[in-house]
């Protein structure tokens, strides 16, 4: 895919007159709740077909999750690509200096001694966010 989902979802929101913000912002409780319901619905659908399949439905529901996540970020004025880059940066610090990986018995990658947590607040501040109580 050449375009970020952010560009595609912004096009969708523009075409249908849906909310879109350019800076991280609190939104109305009704809108926040609506986005939460959309996220929960798509996450539930993806969780179901992740178990049952078939693969084309799983692919569709995974795309729906990403689409509604990007849409929710857009509604809140969050540049989600930048947040994902920060989470990725943090995740890569789970690798030891010699490239060693520690895993749980179920295969989940564990945080090693060099792990750095993502600083999502710093990313949002760079996007213009002022946390509640700081304004
Ligand atoms: Mg769906």
Where along the chain do its domains lie?
1-78, 79-135
Is the pLDDT score of 2 beyond 80? no
More confident residue, 135 or 70: 70
pLDDT at 135: 67
CATH T-level topology, domain 79-135 = putative ntp pyrophosphohydrolase like fold (1.10.3420)
- CA 64 – ligand 1 centroid, Å: 5
Query: What pLDDT sits at residue 97?
Result: 80
pLDDT at 120: 98
Closest CA to 86 of 46, 127, 131: 127
Report residue 82: phi and psi, to 5°: -65, -35
Domain pair 1-78 / 79-135, same fold: yes
* Alpha helices, H only, the chain: 5-15, 29-52, 55-75, 80-92, 120-126
User: CB under 8 Å, gap of 24 or more: what pairs does 45-48 form?
Assistant: none
Q: Which fold has domain 1-78?
A: putative ntp pyrophosphohydrolase like fold (1.10.3420)
Q: Ligand 1 centre and the CA of 61: distance in Å?
A: 5
Q: What is the pLDDT of residue 99?
A: 83
14 CA → ligand 1 middle, Å: 21
- Look over the chain and give the mean of its residue pLDDT values, rounded to a whole number: 94
The label of the residue with tokens 């560009």 reads 7
Instruction: State how far the alpha carbon of 86 is from the alpha carbons of 31, 83, 107, 131, in Å.
Output: 26, 5, 23, 18
Span from the CA of 47 to the centroid of ligand 1 (angstroms): 10
Average pLDDT over every residue of 32-37: 98
Which percentage of the chain shows pLDDT scores above 70? Answer: 98
**Could you read off the pLDDT of 85-120 as tens digits, one per residue?**
999 999 999 888 888 888 889 988 888 888 999 999
Ligand 1: centre distance to CA 106 (Å): 28
Residue 1 has a pLDDT of 54
Which residues touch 24 (CB under 8 Å, ≥6 apart)? 76, 77, 78, 124, 127, 128, 129
36-45 tens-digit pLDDT: 999 999 999 9
């Amino acid at each position: 895919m050449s375009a970020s989902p952010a560009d595609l979802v912004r096009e969708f929101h523009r075409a249908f007159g849906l909310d879109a913000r350019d800076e991280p912002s609190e939104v109305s409780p009704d809108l926040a709740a609506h986005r939460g319901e959309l996220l929960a619905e798509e996450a539930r659908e993806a969780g179901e077909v992740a178990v049952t399949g078939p693969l084309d439905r799983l692919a569709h529901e995974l795309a729906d999750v990403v689409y509604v996540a990007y849409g929710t970020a857009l509604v809140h004025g969050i540049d989600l690509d930048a947040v994902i880059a920060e989470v990725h940066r943090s995740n890569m610090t789970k690798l030891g200096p010699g490239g060693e990986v520690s895993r749980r018995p179920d295969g989940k990658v564990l945080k090693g001694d060099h792990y750095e947590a993502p600083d999502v607040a710093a990313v949002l501040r760079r996007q213009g966010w002022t946390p509640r109580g700081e304004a």
